[in-house]
């Protein structure tokens, strides 16, 4: 096997057997293809792929056929952390789909005590991780993760290059009011690569620690940030001098071919007729996850008396739950 030359970070695939939000394409096939393209790119360029969390959009009850199609794509022990969408509770357990891949040795979860280490172009590289709901380390000792040195093998007298992956609400510049965790220097860590935030946040350096957030390879919502977001990977080419970071755009369709158009609001007239007219328009934005129906009801139920609106809402939720159970 050719020597690996670097790392390839893959942000938040959100695999699902049904389309989330207002996606109108064959979402499962689209995201599986993006993941296949990303992993093939890693193999062809001798890069080690690393998943930044949220491999799945729903933590449980994913269709068996989705797992069957996913398994051949993954190398054994693909490095990863879990995200908030991968676990129903605040930590991964045996009922979550991702646990199947971990126990099948297709996914190797990283944490503070289980890091990956290797040599790329003569430079030692260490990769650790902090999953959703876990605390980032206060510091990290690279010397504790030097198995080559402990075995008495020849290594260069230079500190390992340390990467850390996480899946957190980080306070990147311009993101402060919606987030909780400061980007700060963490002694012993050179680069922190974050998932969870679904857009490119650029590069932010605090002391000797550089923070990056490449954004997700899937687009889940039809908001403006999805319109401008380019699904990309983050490539790190390792050399003895350090590393070169590059964003790699992956094949994707234009926004308007991916999402249902947003229907315009109509001025209210008689509640019955406007509701029926809007219901006819809803036919064009039906979605597998029920997002279209929920948006339609939010926009129209205020026309009715509270008791009637509550009954319609209750009936809609019952229908959506039954439909989703059938699709699992």
**Assigned domain for 216 exists:** yes
Integer Cα distance of 120 and 188 in angstroms: 19
Q: ∠ CA 132-115-241 to the nearest 5 degrees? A: 110
Provide the mean pLDDT of the chain: 85
| pLDDT value of position 144 | 73
Encode pLDDT of 49-63 as tens digits. Answer: 999 999 999 999 899
The answer to whether residues 267 and 137 belong to one domain is no
Task: Check whether 31 has a pLDDT greater than 90.
Answer: yes
**Assigned domain for 1 exists:** no
Distances (CA, A) of 170 to 61, 83, 132, 166, 212: 30, 14, 12, 10, 10
Give strand pairing partners of 209: 206
Q: pTM of the entire structure?
A: 0.80
**Final residue of a domain: which of 234, 255, 276?**
255
Task: Check whether 242 has a pLDDT greater than 80.
Answer: yes
The answer to whether residues 125 and 89 belong to one domain is yes
* Structural domain that includes position 93: 6-255
The answer to whether residues 159 and 235 belong to one domain is yes
The answer to whether residues 23 and 171 belong to one domain is yes
| pLDDT value of position 268 | 46
Terminus-to-terminus CA distance in the chain, angstroms? 39
CATH number of the CATH domain containing 47: 3.60.21.10
Encode pLDDT of 95-111 as tens digits. Answer: 999 999 999 999 999 99
The answer to whether residues 39 and 171 belong to one domain is yes
pLDDT band at 150 (very low <50, low <70, confident <90, very high): very low
| pLDDT value of position 193 | 97
CA 148 to chain CA centroid, Å, is 33
User: Residue 163 in contact with residue 193, Cβ under 8 Å?
Assistant: yes
Total domains in the fold of the chain: 2
The answer to whether residues 22 and 161 belong to one domain is yes
């Amino acid at each position: 096997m050719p020597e690996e030359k670097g790392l390839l970070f893959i942000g938040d695939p959100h695999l699902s057997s049904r389309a989330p939000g207002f996606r109108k394409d064959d979402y499962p096939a689209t995201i599986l293809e993006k993941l296949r393209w990303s992993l093939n790119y890693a193999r062809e360029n001798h890069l080690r792929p690393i998943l930044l969390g949220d491999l799945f959009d729903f933590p449980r009850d994913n269709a068996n056929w989705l797992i069957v199609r996913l398994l051949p794509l993954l190398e054994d022990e693909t490095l990863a952390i879990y995200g908030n969408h991968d676990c129903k509770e605040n930590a991964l357990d045996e009922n979550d789909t991702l646990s199947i891949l971990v126990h099948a040795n297709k996914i190797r979860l990283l944490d503070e005590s289980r890091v990956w280490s290797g040599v790329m172009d003569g430079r030692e590289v260490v990769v650790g991780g902090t999953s959703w709901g876990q605390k980032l380390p206060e510091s990290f000792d690279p010397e504790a993760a030097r198995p080559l040195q402990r075995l008495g093998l020849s290594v260069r007298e230079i500190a390992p290059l340390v990467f850390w992956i996480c899946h957190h609400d980080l306070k990147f510049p311009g993101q402060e009011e919606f987030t909780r965790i400061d980007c700060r220097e963490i002694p012993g860590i050179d680069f922190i690569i974050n998932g969870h935030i679904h857009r490119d946040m650029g590069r932010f350096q605090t002391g000797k620690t550089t923070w990056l957030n490449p954004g997700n390879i899937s687009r889940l919502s039809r908001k403006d940030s999805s319109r401008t977001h380019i699904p990309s990977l983050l490539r790190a080419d390792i050399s003895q001098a350090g590393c070169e970071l590059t964003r790699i755009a992956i094949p994707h369709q234009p926004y308007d071919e991916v999402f249902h158009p947003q229907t315009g609001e109509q001025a209210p007239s008689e509640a019955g007729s406007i509701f029926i007219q809007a219901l006819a328009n809803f036919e064009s934005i039906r979605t597998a996850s029920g997002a279209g129906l929920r948006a339609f009801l939010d926009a129209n139920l205020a026309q009715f008396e509270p008791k009637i609106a509550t009954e319609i809402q209750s009936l809609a939720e019952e229908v959506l739950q039954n439909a989703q159970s059938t699709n699992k």
